């Protein structure tokens, strides 16, 4: 367990530091696209992805950086994409909201809320048709469950018993809108899924170890029985909905709520625990962070020296 815990911590740290670097560098106006940072929400990505193989696939939405990185998406291509360079993972055409890394199994990310849910189901349907032993993990937020296509997708995954894991990261907000503005207090998506014939479970969204362990079983189960499952993970985003800043001064989230969740940071929690248990030392962390820092520096440099796509690419790739 020691090894895996350390790995989970380091993976989260890596994502956190990359995201922080994006936030820090945003002011230089070289990343000229909207960014929805994952800071605070690293645990679901890392905990679940640790249980996936390369040929398992994920789809995600606007807040996709953590998923992309945890699944093994190429860092350089991602940072270059944010810089609009032709070395970017979508050759600069997509930007932060369209990350993709086919080799790593990051099939899609798009900023229309809910839209990748059926697309992910389609990919998983194909896996079943091809009798592959892989699964698709579909990441989405609490807001996305309000789209009708969410129900339609659950229905079909249940009807055809597809190898898909639906993962709802509930950070209680859709932009500035609290759940109470959007969903009845009595609403329970696990029960909704159950009423459709899909099993579900709730795990604390900031407890990476528990996510790792429980999702391991769940994913094995999906693979063994080709049956969908839904995971609900309560978590918290540290920064504003879109952009590099903190927007706590706007008071759309109560001070208490923020404090409670900041005190429950997935990374701090695990770090403290591992230090306490001596599973890891300060020096090791420092060391690792230096490594990450170099990796990040390289990625930004790579992005900076990469070329912008030439004019002719505007009208390329419209048709295959």
Partner 1 sequence: MLEKRIITFANAINEGLEQIMQKDKNVIVMGLGVDDPGGVFGTTKDLIKKFPKDRVFDMPTSENAFTGFAIGLAISGKKPIISHQRVEFSLLSMEQIINQASKWFYMSGGKVPVPMVIRLIVGRGWGQGPQHSQSLEVLFSHIPGLKVVCPATPFEAKGMLIESIKDKNPVIFFEHRWLHLTKGYVPKKMYSIPLNGPRLMKKGGDITIISFSYMLIECLTVSKILSDNNIKAEVMNINVLNPLNIKKINNSVRKTKKVIIVDNGWKNYGIGSEIFTRLFENFKKNKIICERMGIANSPIPSTISLSKFSYPTKFSIIKKIEQIFKKKIIIKKKYFSKIPSDQPDKNFLGPF
Residue pair 39/30 in contact (Cβ under 8 Å)? The answer is no
Question: Quick check: 149 and 117 in contact, CB under 8 A?
Answer: yes
- Partner from ligand TPP, a copy of itself, partner 1, none binding residue 196, C-beta < 5-8 Å depending on class: a copy of itself
Applying CB under 8 A, among 181, 185, 186, 283 the residue interacting with partner 1 is 181
3-class DSSP state for residue 166? strand
318 binds ligand TPP (CB under 6 A): no
DSSP string, 55-89: TSEEEE-SS-HHHHHHTT--HHHHHHHHTT-TTST
Binds partner 1 (CB under 8 A): choice among 44, 47, 73, 84: 84
- Sites for a copy of itself among residues 197-236 (CB under 8 A): 197
Structure tokens at 156: 């079909």
Residues in region 112-151 near Mg ion by CB under 5 A: 141-142
Interface mask (CB under 8 A) for a copy of itself, residues 165-194, using x and -? Answer: -----------------xxxxxxxx-xx-x
| Residue 111 binds to ligand TPP (criterion: CB under 6 A) | yes
Name every residue whose Cβ is closer than 8 Å to that of residue 130 and which is 6 or more positions away in sequence. none
63's contact among partner 1, Mg ion, ligand TPP, none, with CB below 5 to 8 A by partner kind, is ligand TPP
The C-alpha R_g of the chain, in whole angstroms, comes to 19
Among residue numbers 164 through 183, which ones bind Mg ion (CB under 5 A)? 171, 173
Site string for a copy of itself, 107-146 (x = CB under 8 A): ---------------------------------------x
Interaction of residue 309 with partner 1, rule CB under 8 A? yes
Based on the shown chain and the rule CB under 8 A, indicate whether residue 152 belongs to the binding site for a copy of itself: yes
Q: DSSP string of 209-235? A: HHHHHHHHHHHHHHHHHT--EEEEEE-
261 Cβ contact list (under 8 Å, min separation 6): 40, 206, 236
Pairing mode, strands 177-178 and 173-174 = antiparallel
Specify the residue, 145 or 226, whose C-beta has the smaller distance to ligand TPP: 145
Closer residue to partner 1, CB minimum distance, 162 or 292:
162
Query: Taking a C-beta distance cutoff of 8 angstroms, is the pair 40, 265 a contact?
Result: yes
Smallest separation, CB 181 to partner 1 (Å): 4
- Site for ligand TPP, rule CB under 6 A: 62-63, 111-113, 140-144, 171, 173-175, 241
């Amino acid at each position: 367990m020691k090894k895996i815990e350390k790995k989970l911590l380091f993976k989260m740290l890596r994502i956190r530091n990359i995201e922080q670097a994006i936030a820090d560098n945003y002011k230089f106006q070289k990343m000229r696209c909207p960014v929805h940072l994952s800071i605070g929400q690293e645990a679901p990505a890392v905990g679940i992805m640790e249980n996936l193989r390369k040929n398992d696939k994920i789809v995600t939405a606007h807040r996709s950086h953590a998923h992309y990185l945890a699944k093994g998406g190429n860092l350089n291509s991602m940072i270059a994409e944010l810089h609009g360079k032709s070395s970017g993972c979508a050759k600069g055409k997509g930007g932060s909201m369209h990350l993709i890394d086919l080799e790593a199994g990051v099939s899609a990310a798009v900023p229309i809320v809910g839209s990748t849910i059926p697309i992910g189901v389609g990919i998983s349907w194909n896996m079943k048709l091809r009798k592959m032993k892989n699964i698709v993990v579909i990441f989405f937020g609490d807001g996305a469950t309000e789209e009708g296509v969410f129900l339609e997708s659950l229905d079909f995954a249940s009807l055809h018993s597809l190898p898909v894991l639906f993962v709802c990261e509930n950070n209680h907000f859709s932009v500035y809108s609290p759940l109470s503005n959007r969903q009845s207090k009595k609403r329970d998506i696990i029960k909704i899924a159950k009423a459709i014939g899909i099993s579900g479970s709730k795990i604390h969204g900031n407890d990476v170890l528990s996510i790792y362990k429980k999702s391991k079983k769940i994913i094995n189960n999906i693979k063994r029985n080709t049956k969908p499952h839904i995971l609900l993970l309560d978590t918290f985003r540290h920064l504003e909905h879109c952009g590099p800043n903190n927007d706590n001064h706007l008071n759309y989230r109560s001070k208490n709520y923020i404090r409670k969740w900041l005190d429950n940071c997935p990374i701090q929690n695990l770090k403290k625990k591992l230090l306490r248990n001596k599973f890891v030392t300060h020096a090791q962390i420092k060391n690792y962070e230096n490594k990450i820092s170099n990796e990040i520096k390289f990625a930004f440099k790579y992005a900076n020296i990469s070329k912008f796509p030439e004019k002719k690419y505007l009208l390329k790739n419209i048709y295959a």
